[in-house]
Amino acid sequence: MADKIMATKTKMPVKQPKTKEALANEFLGDPMGKAQRDSDISKYSDPVDNIRHTSAARYTQESISKKLGGGMAANIAAIAATNLLGVAHEARNFRNDKRSFLDKGRESAEDMYNNAVGSIIGSLPVSSNTKKNTIRRLSSGNLLADGYNATEQDVKDGLPKNTYFKDSKGKVNRGYKRSN
């Protein structure tokens, strides 16, 4: 009897089924987790959103291409599939987002742009480190969309209008930063 009472008091958490997105991420070798790690560039700030989206698309493209056997046709098919998966991800987020149509539409469009750039970078025949550094340079040079759209209320609450990297005067400079 005491065992039955104890069992009902200490209920085991109910395990939720994985989403389709989580299953796809697992099947593809965790591109979302890899991208999260790539985007965490400083212990003093949040992960960089445009690096995260671009890197996730890069890793997704690489994984799909590899599963299709590699080569030009596999790379092209993987670019298309990666962007379709990115659109599906944004559509799911779009539906659950309570902001205005324009606010969430702009942010989704920026994220899809970064996904497209990442899918092409993923197809390039260069080293993994070169791909990672290229994405970081594009981000620091403000050549990727920031993937963030502040609402009027966000700005009133003190959040930045955009999250592009700025110089000491607060100006957004655009340009590819080549490191020697």
As to burial, measured by CB atoms within 10 angstroms (0-12 exposed, 13-18 middle, 19+ buried), residue 3 is exposed
pLDDT of residue 10 exceeding 70, the answer is: no
Segments making up each domain of the chain, as ranges: 19-39+46-156
Residue 156 pLDDT grade (very low, low, confident, very high; cuts 50, 70, 90): confident
Cα–Cα distance for residue pair 109/144, rounded to 1 Å: 12
| pLDDT, averaged across the chain | 88
148 and 163 Cβ atoms separated by less than 8 Å: yes
**pLDDT tens digit sequence for 101-138:** 888 999 999 999 999 999 999 999 999 999 999 999 99
Residue 161 pLDDT grade (very low, low, confident, very high; cuts 50, 70, 90): confident
pLDDT of residue 159: 78
**DSSP classification of residue 48:** P
As to burial, measured by CB atoms within 10 angstroms (0-12 exposed, 13-18 middle, 19+ buried), residue 39 is buried
Query: What separation in angstroms does the CA of 140 have from each of 123, 143, 149, 164, 177?
Result: 22, 8, 18, 8, 7
Residue 148 pLDDT grade (very low, low, confident, very high; cuts 50, 70, 90): confident
Residue 64 pLDDT grade (very low, low, confident, very high; cuts 50, 70, 90): very high
Among 27, 26, 89, CA closest to 57: 89
Residue 78 token pair? 């993987």
pLDDT of residue 3 exceeding 60, the answer is: no
pTM, rounded to two decimals: 0.83
